[in-house]
Amino acid sequence: MNFRDEYRDADAARRFANAIRGIVTRPWTLMEVCGGQTHAILRFGVDRLLPPEVSLLHGPGCPVCVTPAEYIDKAIEIASSRNTILCSFGDMLRAPGTKGDLFAAKSRGANVRIVYSPLDAVTIAQAEPDRDVVFFAIGFETTAPANAMAAIHAKQSGVNNFSMLSSHALVPPAIRSLLEAPGARVQGFLAAGHVCTVMGYREYEPIAERFGVPIVVTGFEPLDILQGVYMCLRQLEDGRAVVENQYSRAVRRDGNEAARRVMREVFQVAPRRWRGVGDIPESGLSFTEAYADFDAERRFGAVMTRDDAADLCIAGQVLRGDRKPTDCPAFGKSCTPERPLGVTMVSNEGACAAYYRYRSLETMDAAQ
Amino acid sequence: MTRTNFFDLSCPSPVPDRETVQLAHGGGGRAMKQLIDEIVRPAFQDPELDRGHDGALLDVNGPLAFTSDSYVVRPLFFPGGDIGSLAVNGTVNDLAMCGARPLYLSVGLILEEGLSIDTLRRVLASTRGAAVATGVRLVTGDTKVVDRGKMDGMFINTAGVGKIVAPSKIGPESVRLGDVVIVSGDIGRHGIAVMAAREGFGFETPIASDCAPLAAPVLALINEGIATHCLRDLTRGGLASAAVEIAESSGLAIALEEQAIPICAEVKSACELFGFDPLHVANEGRFIAFVPQEDAARTVEILRRWPVGKTAAIIGAVEESPRGRVTCRGPLGVRRAVDMLSGEQLPRIC
């Protein structure tokens, strides 16, 4: 199959692994930012091909995981109101808020519908003019343009019963925040290829320069990741720290200008709280004045986020790369995909879910 | 001016609308009899049904396999099948997996008030078509109608009886160390086809369901003396669920080879798009067989004689450890754990 199988070729992977072994002279700690990359690494065993000097930390790039619990509570509140329909991407439905998840709310009669595209939510609003249709718009820069498109389309079509509960997050401020944290361990980043497809990578250049860390824009297939790791290590070993683009078949330095324009029309940069991580300045998106009417928080009340309750779950430390999922005493015991303590255990891009799904052999047997 | 004679007033027909299913069609009275006599019986054409008795009288000797299933698929019609053919094939396949020749099926219809009679006719015709294709008889049934909005068009419940023809017990308890795992064809078509039809995705190359009867290839394996230790049809939960169930029941390890598992390019693409693991995607016309190493090549050769088995392949083997677990060696040679889906299969966000 084109653009898939050739990036999973065993011989090429071995060659990259050998090349990596050939250049590494001392221990290095890298972080892949995106949860999609984490899942590929665990599923294909990319980390197993790396020499012991290289450790991969898993980053905060899981949009479901970093959405504050209070947003899920608000979504449940909206879906449980009279004459409303809450539309959401499916992956959000299993994420627990402070009082349960959207699946449970749905089973109690809340009007929750899974959509595959934000535009589907606008179509539902057009078909149900007597109901308030709210789209649970979460995601990083990859998803934000499509979500913005839904608002633009609704405005152009005069759909007044459509709004969005928006909880978008931006990657570069999160990387900056990780590097500013005391005791920061990450020496090089694999940036999320799809985020950069939209945004390009100019905004990463000052980060690489200021903190002296190489940043390699990286794709999602095993060979992409191996090549990204190689490029990152090459820089570290050479004492360089610049932005490089491994994912050149999809990413250009300036990204996708049309998508960015759509984003700018509907959203503006705002402060944001990340679940488990905390407040990160300029790391979120709020509505521009022209699209303020599409803000579900204006119609249904603002979401008040609180500090995350301290509990057994170490999702926050996992999202910051401070600890691995298997470091958690609850992993695979009191926390499973069926009964999660944290979102990282249920989301398709969550690191704990990846370990549970693909590494349960070792981790479970070791636990027993 | 005409004078109304009360005794000339004619009663309305019990079913004023002949285009849609009415509550009266499930009421046990004249309307229900009409529906059964005019729509169901002519569609199914079986002398046992025509007797109009409370149950079917059957003559079967020897050990039997007996199974039951319910079908609630949405949409009712999808590329490659519909709820009627699915109900027959699904039940027939469960019997075949027991090493039985499927003989008789019951068909219980639960209909939503307002369902178009034309839709019902089409489903019944397809039900009958699938039965004829497999040589199974539809000998008894039931019809209920529920209020509009209480369900989604129609549900079908079936039960099936088959005569055991396998010389030894087929099931997880017969799986042996060293057995070879064979899949009867490429996986994942049904799940992707139904999802695409339900959500209205217009793939450039439409994917048709693999919905098909599997009795013929299974009976051929038995007739040709293949020592079939265990058979399991792949339904919801996909290859992963079937393998995990057998590993857990048998207490042995199943080691799969990802590169050997046949998956068509369209299903691969769709899975990449939605972030699905093809091992978790539903099938309705595929099974896995556990046979001794010495029978493996011949099993594949026999399966490939049938259109449903054209892409049959050896995909793994039964090992000793890790006990009760399924693993899969990926393209890079690294082995990973395979587990059942946790809940529903949900597409990823980006």
Name residue A339's amino acid: R
**Taking CA atoms, what residue in A is nearest to B322?**
A361
Query: CB A140 to CB B275 under 8 A?
Result: no
Say yes or no: B11 contacts chain A, CB-CB below 8 A.
no
Query: CB A358 to CB B343 under 8 A?
Result: no
- Predicted local confidence at residue B202, as pLDDT: 74
Low-confidence spans in chain B with pLDDT less than 70: 1-17, 350
How many angstroms from the chain centroid is the CA of residue B203? 24
How far apart are the CA of A5 and the nearest CA of chain B, in angstroms? 9
How far apart are the CA of A205 and the nearest CA of chain B, in angstroms? 24
**Taking CA atoms, what residue in B is nearest to A137?**
B349
**Taking CA atoms, what residue in A is nearest to B339?**
A357
- Predicted local confidence at residue B345, as pLDDT: 80
CB A103 within 8 A of CB A113: no
How far apart are the CA of B294 and the nearest CA of chain A, in angstroms? 29
**Taking CA atoms, what residue in B is nearest to A349?**
B348
- Predicted local confidence at residue B350, as pLDDT: 63
List the beta strands (DSSP E) in B243-324.
253-257, 287-291, 313-319
* Cβ-based neighbour number of residue A3 at 10 Å: 11
DSSP conformation class of B77: E
How far apart are the CA of A239 and the nearest CA of chain B, in angstroms? 31
Query: CB A64 to CB B337 under 8 A?
Result: no
Name residue B73's amino acid: V
Query: CB B199 to CB A194 under 8 A?
Result: no
CATH architecture assigned to B172-338: Alpha-Beta Complex (3.90)
Domain extent listing, chain A: 5-63+171-245, 69-168+256-300, 322-367
Query: CB B348 to CB A45 under 8 A?
Result: no
Tokens representing B129?
């078509």
Examine domains A5-63+171-245 and A69-168+256-300 and report if their fold is the same: yes
Under CATH, what is the fold of the domain B23-164? 60s Ribosomal Protein L30; Chain: A; (3.30.1330)
Domain extent listing, chain B: 23-164, 172-338
**Taking CA atoms, what residue in B is nearest to A350?**
B348
Domain A5-63+171-245 sits in CATH at: 3.40.50.11750
User: Does this complex have an ipTM over 0.85?
Assistant: yes
Residue among A115, A118, A72 at smallest CA distance from A95: A72
Query: CB A48 to CB B334 under 8 A?
Result: yes
How far apart are the CA of A44 and the nearest CA of chain B, in angstroms? 6
- From chain A, the residues in CB contact with B346 under 8 A are 90-91, 93-94, 114, 348
Say yes or no: B346 contacts chain A, CB-CB below 8 A.
yes
Query: CB A357 to CB B337 under 8 A?
Result: yes
Distance CA A63, CA A170 (A): 10
Distance CA B213, CA B86 (A): 9
Residue of A62, A87, A113, A116 best to disrupt the B interface, most CBs of B under 10 A: A116
Query: CB B348 to CB A349 under 8 A?
Result: yes
**Taking CA atoms, what residue in B is nearest to A363?**
B337
Residue that is written with structure tokens 């008030």 in the block: B113
Say yes or no: A4 contacts chain B, CB-CB below 8 A.
yes
- From chain A, the residues in CB contact with B329 under 8 A are none
Query: CB A46 to CB B332 under 8 A?
Result: yes
- Predicted local confidence at residue B112, as pLDDT: 97
Distance CA A344, CA A315 (A): 6
- Predicted local confidence at residue A1, as pLDDT: 60
- Predicted local confidence at residue A14, as pLDDT: 95
Chains A, B: CB contacts within 8 A come to: 96
Distance CA B111, CA B144 (A): 6
- Predicted local confidence at residue B28, as pLDDT: 87
How far apart are the CA of B336 and the nearest CA of chain A, in angstroms? 5
Query: CB B350 to CB A63 under 8 A?
Result: yes
**Taking CA atoms, what residue in B is nearest to A345?**
B342
- pLDDT in 10s for each residue of chain A, 368 residues: 667 888 999 999 999 999 999 999 999 999 999 999 999 999 999 999 999 999 999 999 999 999 999 999 999 999 999 999 999 999 999 999 998 999 999 999 999 999 989 999 999 999 999 999 999 999 999 999 999 999 999 999 999 999 999 999 999 999 999 999 999 999 999 999 999 999 999 999 999 999 999 999 999 999 999 999 999 999 999 999 999 999 999 999 999 999 999 999 999 999 999 998 999 999 999 999 999 999 999 999 999 988 776 667 899 999 999 999 999 999 999 999 988 999 999 998 999 999 999 987 765 554 44
3-state SS track over chain A: CCCCHHHHCHHHHHHHHHHHHHHCCCCEEEEEEEHHHHHHHHHHCHHHHCCCCEEEEEEEECCCCCCCHHHHHHHHHHHCCCCEEEEECHHHCCCCECCECHHHHHHCCCCEEECCCHHHHHHHHHHCCCCEEEEEEEECCCCHHHHHHHHHHHHHCCCCCEEEEEEEECHHHHHHHHHHCCCCCCCEEEEEHHHHHHHCCHHHHHHHHHHCCCEEEECCCHHHHHHHHHHHHHHHHHCCCCEEECCCCCCCCCCCHHHHHHHHHHEEEEEEEECCCEEEEEEEEEECHHHHHHEHHHHHCCCCCCCCCCCCCCHHHHHCCCCCHHHCCCECCCECCCCCCCHHHCCCCCHHHHHHHHHHHHHHHHHC
How far apart are the CA of A206 and the nearest CA of chain B, in angstroms? 26
Top CATH class of A69-168+256-300 equals alpha beta
How far apart are the CA of B284 and the nearest CA of chain A, in angstroms? 24
Residue that is written with structure tokens 């009082």 in the block: A99
Say yes or no: A338 contacts chain B, CB-CB below 8 A.
yes
Distance CA A49, CA A63 (A): 28
CB B144 within 8 A of CB B21: no
Say yes or no: A337 contacts chain B, CB-CB below 8 A.
yes
